[in-house]
Structure 1
């Protein structure tokens, strides 16, 4: 029964994508079928075995080390601003973007990043039927994060069409940054984090290919890498550092506005209905939680946590899940854990559009225009991954 319900859920998710597709005739069903098979294959290996745990752990530790280096610079400038023992989001999450941006600039300058962009994009594009840059973006988003990834191909942004930006934004919001994987692993089981990283990669390609299919000409599918050596090394480094700071500040401004607006909406709903917006979404999400493989007697509470993740962020939802006050079964905990490992929430609309605006205002406005559609697609990616996990665990 569990497998049947999960399969029904997957069919419904794909059916919804088909109904809202911008061009059903251009959907590449063969590639989507292949990506679904790969999702199940990798999901089985990661959820049923310990393969991959050590590798991802090494990557996570590497990024934690980078963040420690970034912390040295942040502490030098902002030492004493935060209360002892406190961890302000702006200082600990956004300011390290400046250092990550500098690393991206260096990797691009010495031609490592362009090489990676070319060959990873080429390899994945054969599987997913998408463009090389779209394929690169899916992998790079899971390494760099949904705001930093756009810095890595900022010179190509001006050439991208509205459709390509939409697909890239869905992929970016569907992933998480490798730099915070270690934090997730402190709250939920590492194997669920690892599984979600891989499932969401393929899921992002599947959902964006269904919602937003398009064809690229051979000319459009080429991305030229500008020769950064026209600048001196330190000119390049200064440019990327300032780009990173611009992105961080813009994202902070967007977050302030979005989080405040959501708090106001919750208060309005509470005053009118006696329920917050999140609580109402919990009842709406209950059927989707059930289709993910969660028993009905746990579906409303699970739906509430799913809604919390959507309205606030994954850290808030993971912390509530880790507190253990819900008494969920191990099966339900596994499904919820996989669902939570993504950036699909309302605040991310501000983060992605803000990051894009910091690099190219015109493209940032296009992303903001499709903000809800991007969130809708990324949320479906989370549900698709959760449903596959529900079948396998």
Structure 2
């Protein structure tokens, strides 16, 4: 039965993407089928094999060790603030982002990260049927972040037509940056975080291939990465430390605002209608949760968490998931966890449009115009990844 539901889910996702496609005649089926098969194989390997689980254990262990190191710095500065036995979210989940940001900066400075991103990007372009620039951008977004990635392709932004720019922005919204992967792993199971990272990379190209199909001519398929301003090693360290802290503070501020707002809205709806706003959203998103393979008895609860992620952000949704995880089946927990690992929410539209606009005002205005379509596509990527995972769970 789960296979039938998964097939229906795939058809619905493809159908929803096809409806808004800007060039239906140019959709290429072969790369899409190839990437779906790759997604199924990778999800099965990561979640259902000993080798895959060991690989995830190593990956999670490495991040666990990094979080320990980060904890030493956090404890030194804030050690006396927390009561004994308590685990403040800002200190234990958000502030370690600073240390992860520093490591990314070091690998950038040593030019190891750009090399890895470029090589993987070129290899991906052989599979997805898109340009090298699009493939590089997807990998880079997953490593250095959805706004920072555009700095590395600054020279080419002004030359890109709207369709290629859409793909670049869609990749940035569909993935998550390595700087906050560690934070996710403290909130949901690491194996689902890793699986989602891999699936979303291909899912972004699958959905973009339907919504926004095009062919890149050989003479246009150039990959020119912008060299960042030359800094000394310690200048770079200072910059990445501050960048990491800014991310932690911004996420913290957004959580305070969104969690408080959701609590207020829920309370108002309960007083007026006798049902919370999130429960209403849960009923609206229930059919999507059912299509993703969530059991019928849990679709409303799962739908509410999915909707929360869309209207707020993934951190708020992960916190809500943690509150009810004991009432959900392992299957539902896995499907929803994979769905949550992406930047597909309304606030990301502003972040991406703002990042592009800061580098090229004209192209930033173009991105703002297709912002809702960008979110629509990125949400379909999350649904697609969840459907793929439902097959192997």
Please say whether Structure 1 and Structure 2 have the same fold, judged by a TM-score greater than 0.5.
yes
- Structure 2 equivalent of residue 282 of structure 1: 282
- Structure 2 equivalent of residue 324 of structure 1: 324
Deviates further, 60-69 or 162-171? 60-69
How does 1:183-332 map onto structure 2 within 5 Å? Answer: 183-226=183-226, 278-324=278-324, 327-332=327-332
Deviates further, 255-264 or 188-197? 255-264
Deviates further, 263-272 or 124-133? 263-272
How does 1:348-387 map onto structure 2 within 5 Å? Answer: 348-387=348-387
8 A contact 1:100–1:148 mirrored in 2:
no
**Partner deviation per Cα, 1:290-316 (whole Å, 9 max, x = no partner):** 111112222111111111121222222
8 A contact 1:74–1:95 mirrored in 2:
yes
State the distance in 2 between where 1:24 and 1:136 align: 25
Deviates further, 126-135 or 144-153? 144-153
Deviates further, 35-44 or 81-90? 81-90
Cα pair distance change 1:192/1:242, threshold 3 Å: closer
How does 1:1-393 map onto structure 2 within 5 Å? Answer: 1-56=1-56, 58-59=58-59, 111-226=111-226, 278-324=278-324, 327-393=327-393
State the distance in 1 between where 2:324 and 2:215 align: 47
Q: Give the drift of 1:118.
A: 3.3
State the distance in 1 between where 2:239 and 2:49 align: 44
8 A contact 2:96–2:183 mirrored in 1:
no
Q: Give the drift of 1:156.
A: 3.5
Q: Give the root-mean-square deviation of aligned CA atoms.
A: 4.0
> Size of the alignment, in residue pairs?
393
8 A contact 1:147–1:352 mirrored in 2:
yes
List gaps (5 residues or longer) in structure 2.
Answer: none
State the distance in 2 between where 1:278 and 1:267 align: 10
State the distance in 2 between where 1:158 and 1:81 align: 48
8 A contact 1:101–1:241 mirrored in 2:
yes
3-state DSSP of counterpart to 1:34: helix
State the distance in 2 between where 1:260 and 1:158 align: 40
State the distance in 2 between where 1:304 and 1:158 align: 40
